[in-house]
Amino acid sequence: MNITVWNEYRHEKNNLIVAEVYPDGIHQAIANFLIEDGITVKTATLDEAEHGLTEDVLNKTDVLIWWGHKAHDEVSDDVVQKVQQRVLDGMGLIVLHSGHFSKIFKVLMGTSCDLKWREAGEKERIWVVDPAHPIAEGIGEYFELDQEEMYGEHFDIPVPDELLFMSWFEGGEVFRSGVTYKRGNGKIFYFRPGHETYPTYYNENVQKIIKNAVKWAAPLKRKRAVYGNAQPIEKLKGGMKI
């Protein structure tokens, strides 16, 4: 299992508060807890050549984790298209927090992916609403994050294939915080928490969920279906007509 954690990696270099929380970058903080599970993890960031997502890297990636925020527009359309194709071919994709507005998530969803937001350091309580889902395994009925950015409904996404988590915010909003989709042979999990100024990715519940999601999103051994012109499997009574 090969995981690539992609991070925009700008806040950590430009903002002292963020740099203090994630001195080696959000990508490294995520990589660190995944490695504990014996998973092979690489990282890639925006300012690398091809954003670190060369065709070779993508082809070897089983699950791609995506964190971006301020520089979504700087991600090249070419890379976005390659990631989309890899998802359709079976690569798992885990989109975190402000990645809701990334090109790749919007392209795979077909909607604006917009939402309400507020940076006020308020409390978030994340409830499990799908107790039979493997991504929720090991999570209690709910867990709390003392300080998080608020994301509120309406979240402009397609109807999720599965709704796993719902958030309660101190300021009065709710949010569909954990949702899954399939696209082609690939599986997608969007998970809400993870504002850059808070130590969210050190929270053990958040870590457990991302670890579970990586396993859930892993590709199956399966080629893409054959598309295009097809001969009849059964003999047509009148033969081939036009």
- Contacts of its own copies in 175-204 (CB under 8 A): 176, 181-187, 197
Distance CA 98, CA 70 (A): 9
Q: Which of residues 33-92 bind its own copies (CB under 8 A)?
A: 84, 88, 90
Minimum Å gap between C-beta 114 and its own copies is 4
Minimum Å gap between C-beta 31 and its own copies is 25
* Token pair belonging to 225: 């279906």
User: Could you give the C-alpha distances from 16 to 12, 24, 115, in angstroms and in order?
Assistant: 7, 12, 27
Site string for its own copies, 99-118 (x = CB under 8 A): --------xxxxxx-xxxxx
Minimum Å gap between C-beta 49 and its own copies is 27
- Select the residue interacting with its own copies from 65, 93, 128, 145 (CB under 8 A): 128
Q: Which of residues 142-161 bind its own copies (CB under 8 A)?
A: 147, 150, 152-156, 158-159, 161
**227 touching its own copies, by CB under 8 A:** yes
Q: Which is nearer to its own copies, 60 or 224 (CB)?
A: 224
Residue 168: its H or E element: strand 162-169
Query: Residue 17, SS3?
Result: helix
Distance CA 67, CA 6 (A): 6
* Token pair belonging to 35: 């490695």
Q: Which of 86, 48, 46 is nearest to 67 (CA)?
A: 46
Amino acid letter, 47: D
Q: Which is nearer to its own copies, 32 or 205 (CB)?
A: 205
